[in-house]
Amino acid sequence: MVDNIGRNDPCPCGSGKKYKKCCLSKEREGRTPAPLDQSVPQEPMALSPQTSEDAQDGPWERFEAGEYEDQIAIYLAQLKSGSLDEDFAFEMVSRIHPQARKRGEYARFAELVECLKREQPRLYSSDIGYYNLFLIENEISQGRAEKLPELVSAYAEIPHRHIDTFFRVIYLLMYHGHTEPLIAAMTRAWPKVFTSSEIMPWGVEEFRVILTQLLIFDYVDRTKDPEADDPVLRKTLQPFSEMSPEWLEQIVRHLSRQEGRAWNVSDFEVEMDGDQRNEQLFLLSFDFLSELRWSESIPFSKGEVGRSQLLDYLLCEEHVEEIDEGIAILYPRQDPLDCFLGQLFDRQPGLHLQEKQPK
């Protein structure tokens, strides 16, 4: 699997760095070169493409050893001299970013990224997904949203190149309730996501489901008397949704509190048919989402981040096995819950891209 990882892909170790700037170098160090056969005359070694990287070792070593202000000075000097490549540009900016946030120097960091964009647009463009993620995090940290539409729209242009970072942005903006620029960007990106051969099929499906849900949430929020058969809603969902009219009606009714159902533990009997039980859980989870929205003023999108994980747990294989043993479905047990949470927190980046074929 590792042999098929691209140099610019997120490292599978979960560090958040690119593979070429994380475990690739460690793996190279762990490989012992075969001894040279001294009986055979050795040809002079030709210069390799690595030579340009080696020439930067001095500035990079000074950067790593330097303090915050020193690192910024080295970054700007290397940028103006034109000696940065995309690897070093990304690594320097990513090292400076958390320190700038800690100091509250959001505007200064934005200017450092702007310098890269202005001085070396090719380097900026190669990792625009990461740079915009940094800037989006800074905007949210400041409680601002003015620049979000422009920053998020960049992902719509080439979603297949930055799909994993795009998903991080999607969940970040969902949690903080910034759905308007997100819906606009995802809607524009959808044709390219749908036809991409580089995104895993289930990644395409996840994208479609999230966009469909965001559009339904937005409709219910904005409409006084929402109805599933509203032509406006049907037209909005038509390019994306494969949801049946019956399911759409159920969801709209539960989200808008039209259902008014009182749930009981008996609605989730152990002996219940599995499909029926899953349907009940699905509708209960949307009532939970509705309660968060209308009683606690929590945006639908933020509640959805929690709802989807709760439902995944209740339907996960380990939990269902315990249900079959006679344990009520709504009462989590420690072992399967610990297992589910462990898998959730251990989720690796780079899961939405098709595996690259070796050349």
Q: Residue 34: left (phi > 0), alpha (psi -120 to 50), or beta? A: beta
- In sequence order, the β-bridge partners of residue 10 are 18
More confident residue, 61 or 351: 61
Q: Is the pLDDT of residue 190 over 50?
A: yes
Q: Is the pLDDT of residue 98 over 70?
A: yes
In this prediction, residue 46 carries a pLDDT of 38
More confident residue, 260 or 295: 295
In this prediction, residue 220 carries a pLDDT of 97
Place of tokens 């098709």: 354
From 44-53, 106-115, 336-345, the region with the lowest mean pLDDT? 44-53
In this prediction, residue 312 carries a pLDDT of 83
In this prediction, residue 281 carries a pLDDT of 86
Say how many CA atoms lie within 13 Å of 344 toward its Cβ: 14
Mean pLDDT for 333-340 is 62
Q: Is the pLDDT of residue 350 over 60?
A: no
- pLDDT band of 42, cuts 50, 70, 90: very low
d(CA 144, CA 147): 8
- pLDDT band of 292, cuts 50, 70, 90: very high
**10 in helix, strand or coil?**
strand
- Residue 316 phi/psi, 5° resolution? -70, 155
In this prediction, residue 266 carries a pLDDT of 75
Say how many CA atoms lie within 13 Å of 44 toward its Cβ: 2
- Indicate the Cα dihedral angle 49, 50, 54, 57, nearest 10°: 120
d(CA 102, CA 96): 10
Mean pLDDT for 30-35 is 38
In this prediction, residue 357 carries a pLDDT of 41
Q: Is the pLDDT of residue 40 over 50?
A: no
- pLDDT band of 29, cuts 50, 70, 90: very low
In this prediction, residue 359 carries a pLDDT of 36
In this prediction, residue 188 carries a pLDDT of 97
Q: Is the pLDDT of residue 177 over 50?
A: yes
pLDDT tens sequence across 209-221: 999 999 999 999 9
- pLDDT band of 343, cuts 50, 70, 90: low
In this prediction, residue 268 carries a pLDDT of 73
In this prediction, residue 36 carries a pLDDT of 32
What average pLDDT does the structure give for the chain?
81
From 87-91, 106-110, 270-274, the region with the lowest mean pLDDT? 270-274
- pLDDT band of 41, cuts 50, 70, 90: very low
Local structure of residue 83 (DSSP, 8 states):
-
pLDDT tens sequence across 195-244: 999 999 999 999 999 999 999 999 999 999 999 999 999 999 999 987 89
Mean pLDDT for 349-357 is 50
In this prediction, residue 140 carries a pLDDT of 96
More confident residue, 241 or 137: 137
d(CA 90, CA 271): 55
d(CA 188, CA 193): 10
d(CA 272, CA 294): 31
